Structure 1
């Protein structure tokens, strides 16, 4: 079993863990004090040396991304934190911001100091109002304590932080669509180049990083790059949050070094629910190709998961047991992507619509023998041809599920319908009944 070392989750079980006093009592803001005593370039180099890779899904080296900023020209440059977590199965940033928002706030300050930013933005999903309010309070506490504002801790460094509530579009998780939304426009991906590092927010040099990426920075600065690089694997270094959900005894967040396996995580989580076996799972959320029980021992790092045919993504491990119809699950994911397509490009706008239609008729038992190959053909016309990664992600669960469960798709055809009882795949022994007052319109 891999040794677990809580870093981002070290105070989650403390009383009022979200308060600044709790965070400081556990050593919080030691990283900021260390950073302010360093040259900004040395902070960037420390993050590069640590091997920290973006925790938002792509896994691009964080320090290298910071290094893409052009030399200062006297104008502003920005840091934007992508807290628009909304992909099915992904649930690591919201718990982090709820339980320990000061991890993120301290990371924002250190990162801003390193890149020469004096106004940072945290773009949080508007539906999670409780998280938005908690972040606002965390930022207020940081201002009151002298960690934000002018002349931070007597260093001469000034920083303003704005917490911005997004309007609820999945596409705004794409960094350039997020920037458009932050500027008050409709969230749609921009043509690249220019990349945000050159012309991002308000056409100025901008770094866009995920919540967990920025929250990992204080530990690197406080404890050293070697400490962080000593965890994980040779090319996927450090710790990360693994989100287990679905048919597992104890779902939740498990912080572990990269390279841990699902078998090890399931041991920690009590395994698949009693009386059932693992059927398939996602290593990085619903937009990554699915895995099966044969992948239980694949190390969960970028290289190993990629070599096995999927992507580590956001480490959203959705667990499905033998009661689940793979066609039904994939169809529900496809409904989501068809609904959330921004409509900017034809392959995604039209392709996801038709994927949804074909999957619906297969699941209903109305499909024809040619429909499975039709799905693959539609995916082939979307993959690599869409304007952004949403289209590519929509094809991943379909092509991978056909690869591993083509016989299950074919079992639905010819009027046979779904061989699985949807009620059996519920997470509960008994389906909860709605309270009388909510049972129907006008109910009493």
Structure 2
């Protein structure tokens, strides 16, 4: 039965992406406005928002019944909606879709069917409300101002790093993109800003001022000392105006320093007060965000990272160069709507050798032959193996260091093949 419910839900993808809150607002009203029945932290940005959501979720669940809504998923749809330590059960998805199918179809007579993301967002909010969640960390899908998640009134809004991805929909300048991301800022509610690019800071500062929202800029608010790291984890001291934290995390990547700082600052700004030093340190220690510079194997060394845009590529190159001394072979598959030329021109700093394959997203995957034609001059050694499992097995049999990247759909498919965990928490 779950396959039928999910097939119907996935079929709503034919409606595409709507940057319009009307359908989500109407749908939410139809099921009792569940978004008003729990408190939220709303997180927007081009890169980092999923990791920040994971830290916020793991911190808050130390004291409260807490949910998390993120997208996309790596292996199974249920990963998108988590409450405490459990993914949404199949039975709830089936019941929700059966109960609301007539509404979804009738709404088409007004404008058009709710989209996949609009429906999933309302399902998440209803699930949290039905199960008496106290808090939920909510990740924006695309943009912010007109994203379906923006029917909430969060306790704190968070703006992570901002880049040019989806510029066709959000605008061709950092200012215009920041304006869309800043649309999640609510009147009188604080906002935390990780990005420190001048155009972004100026636009978010303007929006925060208009909405009488306290703005905390991470570059001013937090400082990090005593940083130590290796392939087993990272540790450092994080100083804020409120507290000094001793942070340990199994999440790797220097980019996680800013994400962790942002999550901590958002907790200190909660109107009812911070969950406390112990909850924050324990929550970060227990947090996992799979496929962000994740070590899958040591012999050979296999690292998976779901970066797929130029800013994420820069962060990946910086982190890899600091954590690993070996030169990797790059195992890469990308979607056809990504800036593959800029992405690959950054990654060539790490390696001369690349294996091109196909992400597990048939309607949007970039053909490896076309990718090879566009980047052939960048890499002395290019091999095309279109089947990703075959490509992975070839890489681990012939190289001592493998970096799998380019698409979450590639990483997710290979993690499923390997039976690797995707849970966003670590209780080991």
Give me the TM-score of the superposition, normalised by structure 2.
0.28
Q: Please identify the structure whose Cα radius of gyration is greater.
A: 1
User: TM-score normalised to the size of structure 1?
Assistant: 0.27
Greater share of strand: 2
